Amino acid sequence: MKWTPGYRSDDVEDRRAQGGTGGGGGPMLGGVGLLGWMFKLFGLPGLLIGGAILYFSGGLGGLGGGSSSAPSAHVAGERGEDPEKEMVSFVSFVFDDVQKTWTESFGQTNERYQPSRLVLFRDSTRSGCGVGQAAMGPFYCPTDQRVYIDLSFYQELKKRFGAPGDFAQAYVIAHEVGHHVQHLLGTDRKVQQAARGEQTGKDALSVRLELQADCLAGAWAHATNQRKLLEEGDLEEALRAAAAIGDDRLQQQSSGTVQPESWTHGSSEQRARWFKRGYETGRIDSCDTFAATRL
């Protein structure tokens, strides 16, 4: 992807130096403790289920595919420079570009896009939805309308999930901003208020919500291609990343058993399909996963 090295965003809040649970505010939800407990007991599938529980209690909307590693190690260079400096610049550029795209899109319908903020943290941090942990993967908190990411997730994406490349990393940011778009449109609240029976299973509203966020990420990718920012292989990187964190693949890797009834984000094939749909059309109305008879 073509981007501007050294870029800085006014909408990025860097808490990496604080470590622990520094920064932010808001209550510490009991559900976060549940997340850690489920992860220890059940591994990754339990963590993903826990994330869904938190989201539908007004908590975290995550990408899926949380880290299973120990707290990340960030070692400064010989002169104390930030080893993640280039990554910070890249995610800042992507975050602003995604938001500019949605600002223009909302403007075409005479609606106002309210910007989100991107919080960079290390290991754990407080959010309006409780304590976010690196092991949960990137997430969006609708309460404070912020996207949260520990940049060590990108190493997981590359090494553990086999999805390298800068546009794979960009897809992660675009997916989380997609959750912000859903929040502004009231989509997440409608899902949250639906009957509990509609929020479980392979065709659950939670799955449709996540697939829509993938499609919205694809719609942004369409805009970047229109502006000649994409390079050869970028689309494939994003599709590989979307497929790498499908529920079926994560469950197969974790337990060797695929259980569609416990899905929260959709299968690998579904996630790649809906990202590609958004990429091909570039339109938000093509991302209506809730009206789709076949996901």
Q: For 34-50, what is each residue's pLDDT tens digit?
A: 333 333 333 444 344 33
- Give this prediction's pTM: 0.84
Assigned domain for 183 exists:
yes
Assigned domain for 106 exists:
yes
Assigned domain for 75 exists:
no
Q: Given this model, what pLDDT does residue 79 score?
A: 53
Q: List the domain range (segments joined by +) for residue 50.
A: 12-69+81-287
| 21 — pLDDT class (breaks 50, 70, 90) | low
Is the pLDDT at 238 greater than 90? The verdict is yes
Is the pLDDT at 52 greater than 80? The verdict is no
Assigned domain for 1 exists:
no
Selected residue with higher pLDDT from 51 and 121: 121
Assigned domain for 103 exists:
yes
Selected residue with higher pLDDT from 104 and 55: 104
Assigned domain for 175 exists:
yes
In the beta sheet, which residues pair with residue 214?
none
Which of 19-28, 110-119, 154-163, 274-283 shows the lowest per-residue confidence on average (mean pLDDT)? 19-28
Average pLDDT, the chain: 84
Say what percent of the chain tops pLDDT 70.
79
Q: Given the structure tokens 């090295």, which residue do they identify?
A: 5
Selected residue with higher pLDDT from 116 and 19: 116
Assigned domain for 98 exists:
yes
In sequence order, which residues have a C-beta less than 8 Å from that of residue 20 and are 6 or more positions away?
A: 123, 124, 125
Assigned domain for 86 exists:
yes
Q: How many domains does the chain have?
A: 1
The two three-digit tokens of residue 93, written as one number: 């550029």
